Amino acid sequence: MLKKLSIASGLTTAGLASALALIVSPPTHAITIIFDQIGNGAPTDNGGSFVNQDFEPVFDSFDGAIVDDFEINNPVKLLGVDAVFVDNSNILSNATQWNVGIFSSPTAASTSLIGDVAHAFVDPNDVNISTGFNNSGEVLVEIPISLPLADADTYWVGIYPTLDFDPFGQVFVSLSSLANDTSDNAVFANP
């Protein structure tokens, strides 16, 4: 199931505010940021929450993720994803895995939350979560990945934790006013 969102400038989660940046290494080996929705300042929650989480098997029908588009003009290797969250309940530290899926289209994401182009299953011990980002209650989540993208194209990225609903609850994403990207192409995927 896909639901079109109008995300003008970022992502925010209920209790968890999320903004994204993709870090790549082109063939020249210089590190470049190709997609930045983190911006500066505190996000403004504009409402409209959507689940962004891989639940335990009993709740698989509720799994969902926000996927947003980005474009590359040359072959690259994605080296990392940074995300900013407001984590007032410290639930992110309980994730058993972090997922970064690269999809060919929103339709592919609506079929499976495992990226059809590439997917990284990241051990939470390899993820850096820093508190006090932006002098607030926000945390910066740095997720190392190594995902080559061979073709210049538009791709879709979804970043979500694997986290049990019982006892930790849900991770939601909602509309926000913060970021540098002004596209409104993000969609909610719920296979």
Task: Report how far residue 47's alpha carbon sits from residue 92's, in angstroms, rounded to the nearest whole number.
Answer: 21
pTM above 0.85, yes or no: no
Measured CA to CA, the distance from residue 9 to residue 43 in angstroms comes to 9
Q: Using H for helix, E for strand and C for coil, what is the string for the chain?
A: CEEECCCCCCEEECCECCCEEEEEECCCCCCEEEEECCCCCCCCEEEEEEECEECCHHHHHHCEEEEEEEEECCCEEEEEEEEEEECCCCCHHHCCEEEEEEECCHHHHHHCCCCCCEEEEECHHHCEEEEEECCCCEEEEEEEEEEEECCCEEEEEEEEEECCHHHHCCCEEEEECCCCCCCCCCEEECC
Least confident stretch, 15-19, 70-74, 90-94: 15-19
pLDDT above 60 (res 144): yes
In DSSP terms, 114 is beta-bridged to none
Domain boundaries along the sequence of the chain: 2-189
What is the per-residue pLDDT for 68?
A: 81
pLDDT digits (tens, 9 = 90+) for 84-106: 666 667 788 899 999 999 999 98
How confident is the model over 116-142, as a mean pLDDT?
Answer: 84
Q: Are 31 and 25 in contact (CB under 8 A)?
A: yes
Mean pLDDT of the 63-92 span = 80
